[in-house]
Amino acid sequence: DVKVTQSSRYLVKRTGEKVFLECVQDMDHENMFWYRQDPGLGLRLIYFSYDVKMKEKGDIPEGYSVSREKKERFSLILESASTNQTSMYLCASSLVGGWNSPLHFGNGTRLTVT
Amino acid sequence: TQLLEQSPQFLSIQEGENLTVYCNSSSVFSSLQWYRQEPGEGPVLLVTVVTGGEVKKLKRLTFQFGDARKDSSLHITAAQPGDTGLYLCAGEGLGSGNTGKLIFGQGTTLQVKP
């Protein structure tokens, strides 16, 4: 079974802090994704990566950056946290693209910025 | 920009009732996936539909992909409390290549009362 592990279930940070969210997958998947989930808005893609050191912006990349130095690890960085970044953050991975390669999600990190 | 509109957003029903969740777009998708998310966990894939008009069944759940591949539905027969959760549809755009990038609907929160 694929396992996607997010390092923290809950985080509370202050406005202006630099925040790191870590995600590790154990199935040698090529693609990794960061989504944020807000009520009534579904999942919105922040960034994704299809290879080590490769990254592409998703639909809402402003205020975020990512790092993928190793294939199994994909980090989301909030350069200067703001209250509007309070949300549930979900990491996901997939073997490759296409319909026969579904997303496998972690259990999420609920971030509160005060 | 491709969008997926999911309806209804909330559904509260009694055990044994039937229900249908809709996922609609003005755009064509290569494939469409349905996920279920339970509290405190990440979404888990239920099914992928690929061919226009395709119907797939998973026990009491029936999934259909529209003939034009612009819409999909999820029908649950004789709902049970264990069906409670957030249901998400996600489409793979025609131009997504091998990125695995999906577009998600807003989600439908289903509560089945015993």
Closest partner CB to A41 (pick from B35, B98, B106) = B106
Q: What pairs with residue B105 in β-bridges?
A: none
pLDDT in tens, B13-42: 999 999 999 999 999 998 899 999 998 899
Q: Are A49 and A55 in contact (CB under 8 A)?
A: yes
Please judge whether A42 and B105 are an interchain contact, meaning their C-beta atoms are less than 8 angstroms apart: yes
**Which of A99, A100, A104, A109 should be substituted to probe chain B, the one whose Cβ sees the most B Cβ atoms within 10 Å?**
A99
Six-digit token string for B108: 């439908």
In chain A, residues with a C-beta closer than 8 Å to the C-beta of B50 are 99
Residue B10 to residues A75, B17, B60, B110: CA-CA distances in angstroms? 33, 15, 20, 6
CA-CA-CA-CA torsion sign (A88, A89, A93, A98): positive
Please judge whether B101 and A40 are an interchain contact, meaning their C-beta atoms are less than 8 angstroms apart: no
| Residue-range definition of the domain harbouring residue B33 | 5-113
Residues 14-73, chain A: which have Cβ within 8 Å of B? 31, 33, 35, 40-45, 48, 50, 56, 58
pLDDT in tens, B95-110: 666 566 888 999 999 9
| Three-class secondary structure of residue B106 per DSSP | coil
Six-digit token string for B40: 């405190």
| Three-class secondary structure of residue A80 per DSSP | coil
Residue A40 to residues A17, B5, B59: CA-CA distances in angstroms? 27, 11, 28
The total number of structural domains that make up chain B: 1
CATH number of the domain that residue B39 is part of: 2.60.40.10
Ordered by where they begin, the domains of chain A are 4-113 (2.60.40.10)
Please judge whether B104 and A44 are an interchain contact, meaning their C-beta atoms are less than 8 angstroms apart: yes
Query: Is the pLDDT higher at B103 or at A111?
Result: A111
Distance, CA of A27 to CA of A32 (rounded, Å) = 11
Q: What pairs with residue A75 in β-bridges?
A: A22, A67
pLDDT in tens, A59-109: 999 999 999 999 999 999 999 999 999 999 999 999 876 667 789 999 999
Question: A90 to chain B: nearest residue by CA?
Answer: B42
In chain A, residues with a C-beta closer than 8 Å to the C-beta of B6 are 42
Q: Are B72 and B30 in contact (CB under 8 A)?
A: no
